[in-house]
Amino acid sequence: MSPRTTEQYEEIRESKRALIMNTALKLFAEEGYYITSISKIASEANISKGNLYNYFESKENLLSEIFHLGLKEIFESFDPNHDGVLTEDELKLFIDKSFLKLKDNLAFWKLYFILIMKPSVFKIYKKQFMELIIPLIQTLENYYSAKGSKNPNAEARLLGATLDGVGMNYVFDPENFPLNIVKNIIIEKYI
């Protein structure tokens, strides 16, 4: 058997890192952030606690990485050509992808909505959250301003609050929430 290449080691490392993050996400969403210990995450991921610390320096760092990745995935579809100008098609694409991500990663969004209401935990990822959200709001403001809105900031904030409200309602009642119908109404009203 030949020795592993640097690329193979990196693949193994990324795979283990993803396993830890997915395990932590599941446990944080099901049991709560404060109740879930590093030992429990390591045990569920079938690795040693010491090995887990080779990937994440602390539980706070692990939570921060989970949120950064989850939010980054959703915001990547916003202004996909990164020109700072949002078109109707790009906004529709963002809303479509947001709803898909909501359905595809229910555990992340459950954790997101639970923790965003806990100021002591929100402070862990607030900086990363604000770094992602402020440019998004500014681009939305520019979009609504170009459409002739009298209050583009309020329009941008209203769309964000609407998407958050839909997400929260869906997360806590996915079987009964009419997600696709609501998505179409939002597209009709905000685009």
b/e for 165-179, b at 16 or more Cβ within 10 A?
Answer: ebbbbbbeeeeebee
Could you report the average pLDDT of every consecutive run of 10 residues in the chain (191 residues)?
73 89 93 91 94 92 88 83 89 93 90 83 77 88 95 95 95 94 94 85
* Cα distance between residue 104 and residue 109, in whole Å: 10
pLDDT reported for residue 123: 80
* Cα distance between residue 17 and residue 65, in whole Å: 10
pLDDT reported for residue 32: 86
**Identity of the residue numbered 139:** T
Measuring CA to CA, how many Å separate 102 from each of 50, 79, 155, 168, 183? 33, 19, 22, 10, 11
Decide: 73 and 131 in contact? Cβ < 8 Å. no
pLDDT reported for residue 1: 61
**Identity of the residue numbered 113:** F
Q: Which two tokens stand for residue 145?
A: 């301003």
Cβ atoms within 10 Å of 60's Cβ, excluding its own: 14
Domains of the chain: 1-56 (1.10.10.60), 59-190 (1.10.357)
Quote the crossing angle between the two packed helices 106-116 and 6-31, to the nearest 10°: 60
pLDDT reported for residue 2: 65
